[in-house]
Structure 1
Amino acid sequence: MQLNHYLNFHGNTEAAFNFYKSVFGGEFSPLMRYGDMPAQDGVTLSDADKQKIMHISLPINESTVLMASDVNEQFCAQTNQPFTVGTNHYISINLDSSEQAKAKPLFDALSANGSIEMPLDKTFWGALYGAFTDQFGIKWMINCQLENS
């Protein structure tokens, strides 16, 4: 299991991560834009939103990865969570495929009496993923990469 910091930005993730890369070095792994997502019913993205960062990772060392995404207005409306600088941070628990059995118990235990943003479910990037705010106001993500991805 790996715990990482996951940051949200309001349209300037790419600039922020180019800065972090200049400080820490390394290469982005992976970098996905909203335009890379499969089409979803009821979701229309502008050309500008398609260029924003859906997910970016910058490995800092063997055990630490800094990750982030741009949050757009549709996301804020959909999750009923406005973007607020200072509260735009998640703790991300990353499990590999051998730890898949831990994903649901961790999600259920940590989210108890909290607010689920995205239920734990399979994703188009080949993982079990879910996000929530725990009963103490801390934001969490659970991501378990599946073997067949």
Structure 2
Amino acid sequence: MKHQATPYLTFDGKAKEALAYYKEVFEGEVMNVQTFGDADFPTPPGYDERIMHAQFKKGALFLMVSDSFGEQSVTPGNHIALVLEFESEEEINNIYERLSKEGTVHMELQDTFWGAVYAKVQDPFGVIWDLNHTKG
């Protein structure tokens, strides 16, 4: 793995408000904001202005943020995932296989439009893992 797991916070349409709040509280920087409307991805009506992905940084503090998508509901306990960035496709394949064996797959391991191999798996203990390997 490339580095420590990164917290990924998901909100139900309030990601912009949360980012503004964190910017004020921590005096940090909001970066790489992409809305669902910006993405080359089919989105439900009314989602164009919701945040698909954004980053927040202040010193060593680094968070990723998005709004929920489609039927995904956000409740305390399922709105935080840990993101792992992998060095190789072999490494992500091995971890995905092990996690999905006893876990619940939320998104199958697949190529993405952002140039990565990605999957989302919830382990048997309720922890949600976003697995990502950026190609190239």
- TM-score over 0.5 for the pair: yes
Amino acid at match of 1:116: V
Aligned counterparts of 1:31 and 1:129: Cα–Cα separation in 2: 19
Cα displacement string for residues 26-66 of structure 1 (whole angstroms, at most 9, x for unaligned residues): 433321101012243xx5322xx20010011113435x520
Contact 2:29 2:58 in 1 (8 A): no
Contact 1:58 1:67 in 2 (8 A): yes
CA RMSD of aligned residues (A): 1.8
Contact 1:10 1:70 in 2 (8 A): yes
Identify, as 1 or 2, the structure richer in helix. Answer: 1
Aligned counterparts of 1:6 and 1:111: Cα–Cα separation in 2: 20
Choose which of 85, 89, 94 in structure 1 pairs with 2:80.
89
Distance 1:121 1:20, change over 3 A: same
Amino acid at match of 2:101: A
Aligned counterparts of 1:111 and 1:120: Cα–Cα separation in 2: 10
Aligned counterparts of 2:106 and 2:133: Cα–Cα separation in 1: 17
> After the TM superposition, which parts of structure 1 deviate over 3 Å for at least 4 consecutive aligned residues?
none
Name structure 2 gaps, 5 residues minimum.
none
| 1:28-39 equivalences in 2 (<5 Å) | 28-39=30-41
TM-score, structure 2 normalization: 0.86
Aligned residues: 134
TM-score, structure 1 normalization: 0.79
Name structure 1 gaps, 5 residues minimum.
77-81
| Aligned-pair identity (%) | 28
Matching residue of 1:57: 55
Amino acid at match of 1:31: V
